[in-house]
Amino acid sequence: MLPSGSQFDEWRRAANQLAERLRNRQQLAAVFGAFSAGKSSLINALVGEPVLVVSPNPTTAAVTHVASAGPDTPADTVWVTAKTASAMESDVFRACGRLGLAPGSLAEAASLGRALRPLQGGPPIQQAAAFLRAFANGYEQMGPRLGSRWPVPLAQARAYCADENVACFVERVDWPHTAPFLNSGLVLVDTPGVDSIHQRHTQLAFDYVRQADAVLFVLYYTHAFSRADKDFLLQLAGIQDVIGLNKLFVVINAVDLAKSAEERSAVRERVVAELRALGLRDPRVYEVSSQLGLAARMLERNPADGRFVQLVRQRLKLPAHEPLPTAADLWEHSGLDHLLADLRSYMREQADAVAMAAVERVIAGARSSVEAAWHRWQAEAVATQAEQARVAERRRAWQAELAAERAKVEAGSSVLEAALQAEWEELVFHIGERIRFRLPALFREAFHPGRFHAGTAARQALAAAAQELAAALSRQVEVETRTLALRLQSQVDQVIQRRCESLAAEAVLLGVDVPTASDPEAAPEAAASEAAGRLFAVPSVELDWTPFQATFRHFSNPKQFFEGGGQGEMLRDLEDVALPMVRDAVQRLADQLRAGAVQRFRDQLTAQLERTVRAAEAAGESLTSRTPGASVDSRQLEAARDWFRHREPAGVSVAR
């Protein structure tokens, strides 16, 4: 227990405030996957009710938060948040760009969308056209609501997810639910598909992956890994490597479609192999049937519900004369019980780890304060006047050293910054090398035999393949630079933390109580997070595909290209064209991110040096103005120092 007394009231108050924040902390489990992989149906099965409606268009999906209704939240009301006007413009103008349109405003884009005729083109073109038509159809109704948030009765809420003309305007839906497992603070987040055409959705996915406590990635049983799946998981692998935490739960959905146990086992083995190839070590993989899981929950309430009786018979291939399994057996058969149990166990472990880390930070700050107070007390009550003078002289010399260090930091000549810059050069080089290594696979995915089927003009097929390759390389640059941004932020924070710790250790010996950057008043977490978001934002990348046309000379016909060596020759030429473009884009983004990282480093270290100098000055003034030994209760201080020196790292209790 922390000792009582006025000397320690501030530390006790800070610890109790931390405990309250941890009790009220929500834990996010973000659900990702390609459009139609079964994200919404998985959430429906977990909560035991079809609350989410599958979006009819992969480009209109909004983020949906499903959380505990709570005692003060009506479970029959849903809150809808519309996109801001700028977010809507980003989505609409990007779709228009894919269609060769350049409107000057949302109103003009709506007019173009209403006049849009059927277009020829691949999935990206068709998705962009579908989104623009939906936007145009809903603009008159939803345009005035941009940037607003409003409550919607539960009976009407599904329209904001199911009606694409409305859903394309929605940023987020908050859906309260009474499922018991949500009462612990767990929030299920249904995200847009990882194959969304919108850059905003890509950045949104990155933010949720970074912030979420757990990531559920849903794969449909009959679907192979798409390029979008691989890019998302590659990004996740990079994030997990930086934070040193495995928070991925891979869910293979609809495993009841397997024709045999051997086929099901083979699918699982393929998924595990793909995950490991992407750098995801020790993956957690779950085989589930969300439809059977939802049916189990619904039949538990109403065993005669014809919709779900029919669904179970169809999925299990049961004839009409055979009895249905019990709801409990169905739930176990669905595989969801195992997934939910592991997810909840993992969340509890994470909550405990987060709580202990936060408490340890509070305790470390209090320990530092006690040690500094102890040295001050010794200087006041025990030291001779000559010794006090020597301590004061050392403190003044230290202040001068800190001032010189601050000048170097501001001038960009700090030894710490130079070490960071050298490390960053190495990181940027390896980004280009990793993309070079992936280029052959990306090339073959774009220039595949199926693209050159009979009836398709060779020039048109080559152009489509080149566009797909340029888009794939652009995503690789974005994936790598987002991970780089996170790594730069982490490295800066680690260097600052180590320097803060060394400053605190030096300060203790001089009787100086130094506030650190982790103190709530010194750097509020929300403000720090917002600032980091601005410094480390990665803009979209769109590499130009037209230089690739120079390599089309290696294509005469499909047989010559795929069997006669033309594909290999084109790839060799493409490396000379594409890789310099990739490296230029990486370098441009890396330079921007490094500038942000340098700014963060200089701002934080300068601020900490200033705090330390002020604390040293205050310590010197307090020694000359106070009666020796009279400023503290020595028994309280000695008890506190003894407590900190003998306490165990875990199991901290805080007196209220």
Residue type, 23: R
Mean pLDDT of 46-61: 68
| 274-283, 424-433, 453-462, 523-532 — most confident range | 424-433
pLDDT at 652 over 60: no
pLDDT at residue 434 in the model: 95
| pLDDT, greater one: 443 or 529 | 443
Q: How confident is the model at residue 92 (pLDDT cuts 50, 70, 90)?
A: very high
d(Cα 486, Cα 358) in Å, to the nearest integer? 21
pLDDT in tens, 313-359: 998 888 888 888 999 999 999 999 999 999 999 988 887 776 666 66
Summarize pLDDT for 540-580 with one digit per residue, the tens. 788 999 999 999 999 999 999 999 999 999 999 999 999 99
> What does the alpha-carbon distance between residue 396 and residue 383 come to, in Å, rounded to a whole number?
18
pLDDT of res. 326: 92
Name 575's bridge partners. Answer: none
- Pick the more confident residue, 354 or 399: 399
User: Is the pLDDT at 601 greater than 60, yes or no?
Assistant: yes
Q: Write down the pLDDT at residue 328.
A: 92
Q: What amino acid is encoded at 290 in this protein?
A: S
């103005």: which residue's tokens?
A: 625
CA distance 494 to 582: 30
Global confidence as pTM: 0.79
Q: How confident is the model at residue 506 (pLDDT cuts 50, 70, 90)?
A: confident
* Distance set, CA 30 to CA 186, 216, 241, 281 (Å): 10, 6, 19, 20
Q: Report the pLDDT value the prediction gives residue 621, as an integer from 0 to 100.
A: 64
Per-residue pLDDT at 169 exceeds 70: yes
Reply yes or no on whether the pLDDT at 474 is more than 60: yes
Residues 230-236, mean pLDDT to the nearest whole number: 89
Rounded to whole angstroms, how far apart are CA atoms 134 and 139? 8
Return the higher-pLDDT residue of 309 and 201.
Answer: 309
Question: In the block, which residue shows the tokens 């509020």?
Answer: 524
* Residue 538 pLDDT: 78
pLDDT of 534 over the 90 cut? no
What integer pLDDT is reported at residue 250 of this predicted model? 95
Q: Which tokens go with 414?
A: 């700090």
If you average pLDDT over every residue of the chain, what do you get?
Answer: 82
Does the pLDDT at position 54 exceed 90? no
Indicate whether 532 pLDDT > 80: no
% of residues, the chain, pLDDT over 90? 43
What's the pLDDT tens digit per position in 5-34?
Answer: 444 565 666 666 666 666 667 888 999 887
Q: Answer whether residue 273 shows pLDDT above 90.
A: yes
Distance CA 489, CA 498 (A): 14
pLDDT in tens, 480-490: 999 999 999 99
Tokens matching residue 195: 């194959």
Provide the CB-side half-sphere exposure for 259 (13 A, CA). 3
Mean pLDDT on 169-197: 82
What is the H or E stretch that residue 405 is in?
helix 385-411
Confidence check: pLDDT of 524 > 80: no
Alpha helix stretches (DSSP H) within 143-222: 154-157, 159-162, 164-167, 199-211
User: Is 523's pLDDT higher than 60?
Assistant: no
User: Quick one: pLDDT at residue 304?
Assistant: 87
Mean pLDDT confidence for 395-413: 93
Helix ranges, 145-289 (H): 154-157, 159-162, 164-167, 199-211, 227-243, 261-277
For position 457, what pLDDT does the model report? 84
